[in-house]
Copies of this chain bind each other. A is one copy, B any other.
Amino acid sequence: MTTPTSRRTGRPRAVTEQAILDAALLQLDAGGAASVSVRGIAAQVGIAPNALYTYYPNKAAVLRALVERFLGEVNHDRFIDRQLPWRQRVEALALELRTHLVAHPGAVHLLLGGPMDGPNALALREVLSEVLADAGSRPDDAARGSYVLMVYLLGAIALEVAEIHQPDTAPTEPERIATRRAALDTIPAEIYPRTSRTAGTVAKYFTTEQFLWGLQRVLDGLDPHA
């Protein structure tokens, strides 16, 4: 909690916590969450692997700090502006979050891996809660609604990232659709008779448009004046 700005004595630190997080993010972007390693981070910043334990108690703490810093880069500008229509405020936040996470696909895993209870994660929920309150929701509904929004945003981005960016040699888009259709064909027709008819439709939507369409439906459900 307390952050002493200078160390008492002894040898100066060779690197900074930020440099360690930078290295972790680099590894994350390069090879996905599975390829982030203590040894790799240490090599990148130029210290012995075990020296990292002077900065963070263990690997999990490094990843937690990375998630926190990551969320801190999202919470900024125009969502506080109460002049804008509330739906527009949520949409802007949603798109910003999505942009950040799609740019660092491995981070999604980390986000959903642990409890979202860091300061920045809570700040995100608070922002959403305030927007809903401004929209006219009663406090309880605003709080619960902010949870529903978080669920939708993180869930949608998680599924999108899982679709797009599987760790190894990802098949191209047409290949993936073909695979999906083939898989679909193995479903017994007696059980899901309408399957083959709607298969193409189901497979079609994985875009910003789908993301925003879903968001609008969720907002419809949360709109206190609907």
Q: Which residues on A are within 8 Å of B, measured CB to CB? A: 60, 80, 109, 112-119, 122-123, 125-127, 129-130, 133, 139-140, 142-148, 150-152, 154-156, 158-159, 162-163, 166, 168, 176, 179-180, 183-184, 186-187, 191-192, 194-195, 198-199, 201-202, 204-205, 210, 213-214, 216-222, 226
Contacts and interface: CB of A to CB of B under 8 A. Distances in A.
B187 A119 contact: yes
A126 B192 contact: yes
Contacts of A222: 217, 221
A176 B115 CA distance: 10
A136 to B, nearest CB: 15
Given A123-B192, A217-B222, A205 B147 contact: yes
For the complex of A and B, 10 pairs with smallest distance between CB atoms: A155-B155, A221-B221, A217-B221, A220-B221, A151-B155, A148-B214, A143-B201, A151-B156, A117-B180, A119-B183
A202 B122 contact: yes
A183 B122 contact: yes
B217 A126 contact: no
A189 to B, nearest CB: 11
Contacts of A187: 119, 122-123, 126
A78 B168 CA distance: 38
A116 B216 CA distance: 23
Contacts of A204: 143
A192 B127 contact: yes
Contact of A158 (B158, B191, B226): B158
